[in-house]
Amino acid sequence: MPSKPPRLFGVTLVALLVLTIASLSLLRLVLSLLQWQFLDSLEGVHPLYLALTGLTWAAIGFTLFWGLWRKHHWALRAVCWGALLYALYFWLDRIFLSGWLKSHTPPANLAFSAGLTVLILVYIFGALSRPKIKAIFGEPHERSS
């Protein structure tokens, strides 16, 4: 059985980013369960929302990390879709939970956060769309007519 080529640095960085987000989501789940009564006493978001979103993104993130790390053919496309969905979730969560809509005052670091989101998405798509990486993951990089 032929061994797969070594992991490239760009894929490793994306995998570590995915692992970080998955770990933070797991932490969100755990802390929302541990602090349930306190969070439930506050006005605003229900702890069930925090727990479910933490569970969802932890499960998705660890699955995507595993796919990238094991070089599964589905991982590249799944990570790109996951990155787009997570960015959408991040911004919707930020808009609705921060009270931004009620106060009509955008957060002070809005430009930085938006720029960082775009930069990370461009890096992920750029790193995972290189022909060499697609070949390692078993995806063809040219379509035949």
Residues 19, 65: Cα–Cα separation, whole Å: 6
Q: What is the pLDDT of residues 1-21, one digit of tens each?
A: 556 566 688 999 999 999 999
- For the whole model, what pTM was predicted? 0.85
pLDDT band at 51 (very low <50, low <70, confident <90, very high): very high
pLDDT for the residue numbered 18: 98
Position with higher pLDDT, 43 vs 24: 24
Per-domain residue ranges for the chain? 9-136
pLDDT band at 44 (very low <50, low <70, confident <90, very high): confident
pLDDT band at 144 (very low <50, low <70, confident <90, very high): very low
Closest CA to 76 of 8, 2, 3: 8
- Distances in Å between the Cα of 70 and the Cα atoms of 12, 19, 51, 61, 62 are 11, 13, 28, 14, 12
The first and second tokens of residue 14, run together, are: 């994306």
Side chain identity, residue 28:
R
Q: What is the mean pLDDT of residues 95-114?
A: 81
